[in-house]
């Protein structure tokens, strides 16, 4: 999705990647709603999973019809330009890795909330179970809204200002969630946390894909590996910390990692053309 979406975005000349990722977030929101409905109806899990599996097969079949034409296209040659020094190539590779770290930090914060925000609301703040589920719903809804609106935000503010703005909102949201009390404060914090985490991954894909035709899907694949790796590894890491510090204190890790991403944002968005041409 990221490679094909980046190609569409390049052809259209405007930011579309946040919307593509918005449909991912919309899927999580609809999936949570579907699970809630099946629980309410006391439907057996096997029928719930069977229904989801059938939907996945249908959607995958329809999606591959739209991708058939893209397989014949490419980003152009990826040969190394003449006269490029090894030092310059290493510098550009270093900038790409910094971009990967920035995306990893924001994805870490997203993954931490996906797995821990509901449990932290109940076990850490003493809220009822249904209110803890509501905190997660608010987070996912904010992620979805932020991504569907993200394209216009990026087009108007640019990647750097967008990342700084959204990252700052996310930092404040995490801090409020960790030190705040009561469902209203935690609800606002969950929304801010979701908004702050919503655009790091898709904007990172856009920056990687904009580095020229020579990089092609390689840059997008590298940044995707950073993002998905952090999203999957973050929650278990926090789980180990929970054994020693408890909830919600262990979620300060997410705050620290997002702060790192915020500090990296000006560097990786300052001169994007400099990392064009990495082999």
Residue pLDDT, tens place only, 207-229: 887 765 555 567 788 888 898 89
User: For residue 132, what are its two tokens?
Assistant: 């803890």
Residue 177: per-residue pLDDT: 96
Residue 250: per-residue pLDDT: 92
Query: Would you say 241 and 122 are in contact if contact means Cβ atoms under 8 Å apart?
Result: no
pTM of the model: 0.80
User: For residue 13, what are its two tokens?
Assistant: 């000349």
- What's the mean pLDDT when you consider all of the chain? 82
Query: Would you say 11 and 74 are in contact if contact means Cβ atoms under 8 Å apart?
Result: no
Quick one: residue 84, left, alpha or beta (phi over 0 = left, psi -120 to 50 = alpha)?
A: beta
Residue 92: per-residue pLDDT: 66
Residue pLDDT, tens place only, 135-194: 988 999 999 999 999 989 988 988 889 999 999 999 999 999 999 999 999 999 999 999
Residues of the chain where predicted confidence (pLDDT) is lower than 70: 66-92, 211-217, 270-279
Residue 188: per-residue pLDDT: 96
Residue among 265, 229, 271, 232 at smallest CA distance from 99: 265
Residue 63: per-residue pLDDT: 80
| CATH tag for 2-69+96-265 (out of 1.20.1250.20, 3.40.50.300, 3.20.20.80, 3.20.20.100) | 1.20.1250.20
Tokens 């589920």 belong to which residue? 133
Rounded to whole angstroms, how far apart are CA atoms 134 and 33? 11
Residue 108: per-residue pLDDT: 92
Residue 121: per-residue pLDDT: 93
Residue 174: per-residue pLDDT: 95
């Amino acid at each position: 999705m990221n490679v094909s979406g980046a190609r569409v975005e390049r052809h259209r000349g405007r930011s579309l990647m946040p919307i593509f990722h918005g449909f991912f977030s919309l899927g999580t929101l609809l999936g949570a709603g579907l699970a809630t409905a099946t629980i309410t109806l006391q439907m057996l899990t096997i029928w719930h999973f069977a229904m989801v599996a059938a939907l996945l097969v249908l959607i995958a079949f329809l999606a591959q019809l739209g991708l058939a034409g893209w397989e014949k296209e490419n980003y152009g040659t990826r040969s190394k330009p003449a006269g490029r020094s090894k030092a310059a190539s290493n510098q550009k590779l270093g900038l790409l890795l910094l971009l990967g770290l920035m995306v990893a930090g924001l994805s870490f914060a997203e993954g931490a909330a996906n797995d821990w925000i509901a449990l932290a609301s109940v076990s850490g703040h003493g809220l009822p179970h249904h209110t803890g589920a509501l905190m997660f719903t608010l987070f996912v809804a904010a992620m979805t809204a932020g991504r569907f609106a993200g394209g216009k935000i990026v087009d108007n503010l640019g990647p750097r200002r967008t990342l700084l703005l959204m990252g700052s909102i996310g930092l404040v949201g995490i801090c409020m969630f960790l030190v705040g009390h009561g469902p209203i404060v935690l609800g606002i914090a969950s929304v801010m946390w979701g908004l702050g985490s919503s655009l790091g991954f898709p904007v990172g894909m856009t920056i990687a894909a904009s580095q020229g035709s020579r990089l092609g899907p390689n840059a997008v694949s590298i940044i995707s590996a950073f993002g998905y790796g952090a999203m999957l590894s973050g929650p278990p890491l926090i789980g180990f910390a929970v054994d020693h510090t408890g909830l919600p204190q262990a979620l300060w890790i997410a705050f620290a990692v997002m702060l790192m991403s915020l500090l990296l944002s000006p560097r990786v968005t300052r001169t994007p053309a400099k990392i064009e041409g990495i082999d």
